[in-house]
Structure 1
Amino acid sequence: MNATCSTLTVSLSQAKADFLKLAHQASTGQVITITRTGVAFVQLLAVRKAPQRRIGAMKGKLIIPDDFDTPLPDSLLREFEKKST
């Protein structure tokens, strides 16, 4: 949603009668607040689209050394495995 979206408040009976119109308005970014006996109890708003993943976006930017999976020296392993007291 953007910062310029507007809000519309309607009663439950009006929402029932005009649901398709209200759903369309919500899909354009307008927030619809539905009231029951004058008290807001639900909002109708557009679903945000999930950001698209770009496969291969980091291709060529990461370098994995040939010795990546070589075991670490014992002294370094001991440092990682130290338990705090």
Structure 2
Amino acid sequence: MSTVSLDEALIRFAELMTEAADGEDVVIAAQDGTAVRLVPVQTKGIPRFGSAKGMFTMADDFDAPLEDFEPYER
């Protein structure tokens, strides 16, 4: 785990992000005693066109008029 001051973090931010992304604990401490920890965010990937193919089906009559709306049709 590495602890760096806020001033140092501003200078080395890209490097600290890389360290955190690689799994290392990075703590940034301010002079007033507050501190934060950099942690990587897990991404789910990029959705691809057609990736849901076969995951759902649509009824043959999905666009048929509904009986509940018959009184409102002209």
TM-score class normalised by the smaller sequence: 0.5 to 0.7
In structure 1, distance between residues paired with 2:60 and 2:21: 51
Distance 1:56 1:11, change over 3 A: same
Q: What's the offset of the Cα at 1:68?
A: 1.1
Quote the RMSD (CA, aligned, Å).
3.0
Partner AA of 1:10 in structure 2: V
CA contact (8 A) 1:10 1:35 kept: yes
With normalisation by structure 1, the TM-score equals 0.49
In structure 1, distance between residues paired with 2:42 and 2:55: 30
Q: Paired residue for 1:23, among 17, 33, 40?
A: 17
CA displacement 1:38-58 (0-9 Å, x = unmatched): 613444344543422143233
Q: Percent identity among equivalent residues?
A: 34
CA contact (8 A) 1:31 1:44 kept: yes
CA contact (8 A) 1:15 1:34 kept: yes
In structure 1, distance between residues paired with 2:22 and 2:30: 24
- Stretches of structure 2 that go unaligned for 5 or more consecutive residues are 70-74
Map 1:1-85; keep pairs closer than 5 Å.
7-16=1-10, 19=12, 21-37=15-31, 39-74=33-68
Q: What's the offset of the Cα at 1:70?
A: 0.8
Misfit runs of 4+, over 4 Å:
none
- Stretches of structure 1 that go unaligned for 5 or more consecutive residues are 1-6, 78-85
